[in-house]
Amino acid sequence: MRRALTPGTFDPITSGHLDIITRAAQLFDEVVVAVAQSAGKHPLFSLDERTALVRQVVEPLPNVRVEPFDCMLVDFARRMDAQAVIKGLRAITDFEYEFQQAALNDQLDGSVETMFIMSPPEYMYLSSSVVREIASLGGPVGQFVPPCVEKALRAKFA
């Protein structure tokens, strides 16, 4: 079985994330969406909340499952028996960061391949931090996130 991880903080999951996950699911037998603890980022949503939201969003995708993790990505990939890590790229700044991470992960465990999927133009500007900021100011976020995420954001900032 060809299995890939799509890791992220997903605080919250956006339509751009879902696009990458959906496209990865077309390439692999199974995709594990790896929701990172990322305590250093001080997420708005708890790990349990983020994991639950991602599960709701990917529920229609039969070969996708969601797992939280709080260890090194290569260790988690090994535990999940994943052959690849799939990362989405929006802009050159993403590439610089992700290229460094891929090289580091290769040094830690060369058996896990990193693959990049380019974001389509309609999501190249989209990030979780932008969505959080718009939501915190009472702005509309429905065009950027699935309905369950919009509802959760409204509740957080009510």
What's the burial of 108, exposed, middle or buried (CB within 10 Å: 0-12/13-18/19+)?
middle
Q: For residues 114 and 130, what is the distance between their CA atoms, to the nearest angstrom?
A: 26
Q: For residues 103 and 43, what is the distance between their CA atoms, to the nearest angstrom?
A: 26
Q: What is the pTM for the complete model shown? A: 0.95
Closest listed residue to residue 85, CA positions, set 158, 21, 38, 9: 21
Tell me the per-residue pLDDT of 16-67, one tens digit each, with 9 for 90 and over: 999 999 999 999 999 999 999 998 999 999 999 999 999 999 999 999 999 9
Sheet holding 84-89: strands in order across?
Answer: 64-69, 30-36, 3-8, 84-89, 113-118
The residues assigned a catalytic role are 17, 41, 90, 128
Tell me the per-residue pLDDT of 87-122, one tens digit each, with 9 for 90 and over: 999 988 788 899 999 999 999 999 999 999 999 999
Residue 91 φ/ψ, nearest 5 degrees? -150, 175
pLDDT given for residue 91 in this prediction = 83
